[in-house]
Amino acid sequence: MAKPHQSRAVIERIRPEVDGGRFPIKRVVGESVEVDVDVFGDGHDAVGCVLLHRQEGEAEWAETPLVHRVNDRWRASFEVTKIGRAEYTVLAWVDRFLSWVRDLKKRSATDPDIGVNLRIGAELVESASLRARGELATWLREKAAFLGGTAPTMERLATALDMELTERMAAHADRRYATKPGAAHGIVVDRPLARFSTWYELFPRSLGAAENRHGTFRDVIAQLPRIAGMGFDVLYLPPIHPIGTAFRKGKNNTTTAQPGDVGSPWGIGAKEGGHTAIHPELGTLADFHALVKAARSAGIDIALDIAYQCSPDHPWVKEHPNWFRQRPDGSIQYAENPPKKYQDIYPIDFESDDWQELWQAMAGVVKYWIAQGVTVFRVDNPHTKAFPFWEWMIGEVKLMHPEVIFLAEAFTRPKVMARLAKVGFTQSYTYFTWRNTKAELTEYLTELTQTELREFFRPNFWPNTPDILPEFLQWSGRPGFVSRLVLAATLTASYGIYGPVYELCVHQPVAPGKEEYLDSEKYQITRWTMGGPNDLSEFIARVNRIRRDNPALQSDRGLVFHPTDNPEIICYSKHDAASGNRVITVVNLDPRHVQSGWIDLDLAALELEAGRPYQMEDLLAGGHFLWHGGRNYVRLDPQVVPAHVFRARQHVRSERDFDYFL
């Protein structure tokens, strides 16, 4: 039962919010938070309301007036300016002065009660002067005296209805009985890399110059200019730790390793150490520091893999056997996903009685690598670990290091993926890898960008990973790799590729019907020879330059799909209102055949004036085109370039003045 109170204003349906405010929304520095809320009161009295916002921990709230929209719905926005956590809420009250002004406007100057009504207003203004300070208090007292004085009625009415008085009264309204929601809504404010990032994954051990030589961190440093030149700003490395020998997997995931087999990097832990140790053949901690420093100089963040699992040789297995699940025969339960068995990996038991020490140890792994200069982490299979752990650990880390970014590699059920984002993961892998048709892509991207998911779930699109060679890439050839890259890079602000494998269009599965690579780098060292007809390096660099040069592609907001009359052609746009940047992407989803058709652009969504021509600059293939209206024809040959990425310029005056922009 509610406690008795005198608050008459009602606050309902604050948006954005996640689960009633249980979880924070997400923004990056410089973004705005647009808040909508229902505010009303009983009877006919007017209400006043403000949006309150502040950095978490600050004593004072900043105020932004809420503006009435329609049907008791109000709106205001504010910009977040610091990384960390911020919060917002709404304050509302029945405003006697606003009610008085509203009713006064309806009265006639000859109303016999007009003098009494002006004196009522004078009392309200006098009361506000007692809440004000300094010159404003004096100003309000003077206005109160004038309203209640003997000056001509029309002059007093003009003063009463003056907007300056209304604005100053609003700043000192009587809020004694104001209504405020129970708890403020939280915001996690990240650095810009959380919203817009371009990831490149490689296995350092495959970079050795000589045959059968294990690659090192120094070899990775040598690759940085090439990776930076392609426009990547995050370099993700699979686990860099010692690899266990017990039950080590052989090439192509065979259960018995042969002499010289290097094993899977995810089989973490050996006599040299566990999650805070470095594989001896990669180099020393000093070498790793050199890599982090060199990458930073090249504009690249090093991202490390956090995989909370252990090989049978991991020090934790001997030191803390109670952190793992015991079988009836006394042995430790290895990982299974029937019919698959992973004898080389022991999963963590999150129901351990020693869970508090376990949690501290796992958080300690992340804190250790932060101390070594790492602020980006890709987390392996977080959906197989406890949600409360992630909420605690990520919150604990970001409290001291708000710049840290966590990417969730969870290909699992939608609600589980959403929960991981809610509890703190900065970015998330998605189902894009398996969304191929126009209908599938449109439905999925609409869900990601137009529903409440957009407030907390930041998608990171990967066309492939070391674990996943999608069926589409197995048969579509170079055109398929090109079209999927364009889709990933332009549909979302963050995307990544599994390095040389994608650059060279590697597409051979381990067996028909499987999504595993033949001769996968997960189990062996592979030598890559760049160049040749399938090398996409130059094309990837061009796409990433387009992303860097166009602010519209640096956010997931503003995505609009436009109709086409051919199901094999998809068309969508992004518009950045602040810069006026407009990008329209058209992709042929058929990697084997030329496709053509008509597209119908929503010119209003692009803020392009109907009836006037506009220039479309093809950023991929080059060339400029003058388009008229929303309906236009396209033809895309997958053997040439299966996509257009257009930048729409402002309207031209006429076809003769084609190069003159307003």
For 195-247, the pLDDT digits (tens) are 999 999 999 999 997 777 899 999 999 999 999 999 999 999 999 999 999 99
Same topology for domains 1-95+174-190 and 557-651, yes or no? yes
Q: Annotated active-site positions, please?
A: 380, 409
- In the prediction, which pLDDT does 210 show? 75
* Burial of 579: CB neighbours in 10 Å, binned 0-12, 13-18, 19+: exposed
Rounded distance between C-alpha atoms, residue 189 and residue 31, angstroms = 9
C-beta of residue 568 within 8 angstroms of C-beta of residue 589: yes
Domain boundaries, the chain: 1-95+174-190, 114-171, 194-237+282-304, 241-277+309-347, 557-651
pLDDT digits (tens, 9 = 90+) for 15-54: 999 999 999 999 999 999 999 999 999 999 999 999 999 9
C-beta of residue 317 within 8 angstroms of C-beta of residue 246: no
Beta-sheet strands, E only, within 221-281: 234-237
Nearest Cα to 355, choosing from 387, 389, 383, 329? 389
Regarding the domain delimited by 1-95+174-190, which CATH topology (the fold level of the hierarchy) does it fall under?
Answer: Immunoglobulin-like (2.60.40)
> Is pLDDT above 50 for 600?
yes
Residues 6+ apart with CB under 8 A from 280: 242, 272
Which amino acid is located at 564 in the chain?
T
Residues 6+ apart with CB under 8 A from 190: 26, 27, 28, 29, 83, 402, 403, 405, 426
C-beta of residue 245 within 8 angstroms of C-beta of residue 359: no
Rounded distance between C-alpha atoms, residue 599 and residue 655, angstroms = 22
C-beta of residue 255 within 8 angstroms of C-beta of residue 343: yes
C-beta of residue 585 within 8 angstroms of C-beta of residue 645: yes
> Is pLDDT above 90 for 73?
yes
Across the chain, how many H-helices and E-strands are there?
Answer: 16, 28
Q: How does DSSP classify residue 160? A: H
Right CATH number for 557-651 from 2.30.29.30, 2.60.40.10, 2.60.40.1180, 1.10.8.60?
2.60.40.1180
Pairing of strands 84-94, 47-55: antiparallel
Average pLDDT estimate for 383-409:
98
C-beta of residue 243 within 8 angstroms of C-beta of residue 268: yes
What value does the mean pLDDT of the chain take? 94
Average pLDDT estimate for 362-391:
98
Q: Which whole-number Å values give the CA distances from 309 to 349, 379, 421, 620, in the listed order?
A: 10, 11, 21, 43
Between 144 and 108, name the one with better pLDDT. 144
